[in-house]
Structure 1
């Protein structure tokens, strides 16, 4: 099926990552009696909730506690799985007409391939008018159709974590929240030189790290204005030449880092880029020693990746009515803030952020607010419609990094070769492009 985000959809930065600062809170959700969330089987009449989110053990446990404390309308069996398992499970159950799932949770790209398998939720969304969802988010939730296919659940992005010690090497005249990539490179170069020739910057370039999202959502959009269509353009060559220079100022151990909060805690690096959920523990018990900053800006603007998650109900869900009650509970202000406190995913509603947030989350809140309000910001989405092949798409970007930055191969030749690999995948999938590329179909590297 074709999954496209309409080319004329205008995604405002404020709307897509609005943090609700200064907005009146929605009515409080009463925290009463616990509910069983017994994993794979919550018992007869329970809501089977399949999700691509909160798959890490600690995140899952914290979210299950939120479900137990806050959801009173139904028992919920929460089952977090990887994106591939999610896609095959949804497809197999619905195509066979033997639906056991009642609620689905995933990022926009997880849900988009199943648009025709999801219930229309216009009625549910209409009953949630007090949540304050922006029109940008509700337009995305239509999955390029005319009716609502999911209810916005939560959102996240990526930022820079900085130990204040690194500020002693900040070049004169550079304002940290408004850096360009060239200024950032100068800073990291000066920091390495001032630190006994030891780099202070790190990225999560380990086997399970999310460094490909940096290339997809930050580097390339900032230098080229696109992610796919501009993959091997002259601007892309410039971007990767820049990345090669930045890598020379990056801790070589980054290729072992899956998450940056531990290297930051250990003092192995002082500056790092990562997903907000993977930086929340970096400041530890000394938040006053840390800053969280927006990404730098490039020639085309400040490119950043927005991760939007939604809640959907599959056609034929055995407990659809109860699932709708669970969705209502998960979009209340108190629950939205609970998820922010516990798992560092930000509200999609007008929930007012309290002043007593965990220190690290408060730092992140300020950074993402600056990032999304930056003039000329370019919103990027993770690949949409590629389903279980997202890892293959991501691997193409990882391959470019390896060949250019680690192996020292000529940039243009690497891009031409990897463009062929990316086009081979996209030609099989025949999907439309996703932000920030134009929504033409099928999507291909130019």
Structure 2
């Protein structure tokens, strides 16, 4: 049940107690940094992914991340999957997707612990990934297609998927006792996070069509300008908000949670 303030205090203590920064963040080309900003940090401070992009609360969030960056291993700009740096002990604490830290838990199950994402003033934001399966009306064999859907939703198929990918079941099912250490550790942390009183799900960007990459690039550009290049937070948010607003209008993409539903393109205040 950490807050971002407590998390920053922890990383500061780690840096001062060990002689160097021990927090790792996947800020490299293959890292999921944009998902952290979209689904965790910004919603925790603004309760929004799009509408409050340039709000005063967003300014606070980016300044908080600048504080955290002071205690982040500078090599993070090259990090992708954080399991590698955890195993080499280049970092001791890291943020990443459950599937991208699995090897650390599986290789050294007694050396690592998983815990929920920190919380901000608006709640403990996190990004659940909801995947849907549909059958087109033009399917040549609708019955066989529906049979495949039914097979994918069987408990045993969901467990097999979990074993292979660390992607958790979308249906209620009992976990076998022989699951890998990474699954056991992640399952407990995910249950604590999603079941927390201040849980704030922030969905993946949707309705953007082929412009999803451009949407994520706005968050990446904002991070690089503010945190890596030291540009003023307010000026950067104002400029990037204009880019985001134009993109939402061009894509005609309505809002998704945690933003309130919109009639037409999701507004950027």
Following the alignment from structure 1 to structure 2, what is the Cα–Cα distance between the partners of residues 195 and 320?
61
User: Structure 1 residue 444: deviation in Å?
Assistant: 2.1
Q: Secondary structure at the residue paired with 1:282?
A: helix
1:29-428 equivalences under 5 Å are 178-196=1-19, 198-428=20-250
Q: Secondary structure at the residue paired with 1:303?
A: strand
Unaligned runs of 5+ in 1: 1-177
Deviations 1:104-139 (A, max 9, x none): xxxxxxxxxxxxxxxxxxxxxxxxxxxxxxxxxxxx
Following the alignment from structure 1 to structure 2, what is the Cα–Cα distance between the partners of residues 315 and 396?
36
User: Structure 1 residue 350: deviation in Å?
Assistant: 1.5
Contact 1:204 1:258 in 2 (8 A): yes
Alignment partner of 1:443 is 2:263: no
Following the alignment from structure 2 to structure 1, what is the Cα–Cα distance between the partners of residues 74 and 30?
16
Q: Secondary structure at the residue paired with 1:416?
A: helix
Deviations 1:307-365 (A, max 9, x none): 11111112312233211111111110111111111111111112111121101110000
Q: Secondary structure at the residue paired with 1:289?
A: coil
Following the alignment from structure 1 to structure 2, what is the Cα–Cα distance between the partners of residues 215 and 317?
39
Following the alignment from structure 1 to structure 2, what is the Cα–Cα distance between the partners of residues 203 and 391?
20
Contact 1:294 1:371 in 2 (8 A): yes
Structure 1 length-normalised TM: 0.59
Q: Secondary structure at the residue paired with 2:133?
A: strand
Following the alignment from structure 1 to structure 2, what is the Cα–Cα distance between the partners of residues 292 and 261?
12
User: Structure 1 residue 431: deviation in Å?
Assistant: 1.4
Structure 2 length-normalised TM: 0.97
Contact 1:265 1:284 in 2 (8 A): no
Structure whose residues are more often strand by fraction: 1
Instruction: Give the total of aligned pairs.
Output: 268
Contact 1:223 1:299 in 2 (8 A): yes
User: Structure 1 residue 396: deviation in Å?
Assistant: 0.4
Following the alignment from structure 1 to structure 2, what is the Cα–Cα distance between the partners of residues 218 and 390?
18
Q: Secondary structure at the residue paired with 1:239?
A: helix
Following the alignment from structure 1 to structure 2, what is the Cα–Cα distance between the partners of residues 358 and 310?
26
Deviations 1:185-206 (A, max 9, x none): 000001011111x211111111
Following the alignment from structure 2 to structure 1, what is the Cα–Cα distance between the partners of residues 83 and 134?
32
Deviations 1:153-206 (A, max 9, x none): xxxxxxxxxxxxxxxxxxxxxxxxx1110000000001011111x211111111
Q: Secondary structure at the residue paired with 1:298?
A: coil
Contact 2:105 2:185 in 1 (8 A): no
Q: Which has the larger radius of gyration?
A: 1
User: Structure 1 residue 303: deviation in Å?
Assistant: 0.7
Q: Secondary structure at the residue paired with 1:254?
A: helix
Q: Secondary structure at the residue paired with 1:350?
A: coil
Following the alignment from structure 1 to structure 2, what is the Cα–Cα distance between the partners of residues 323 and 205?
40
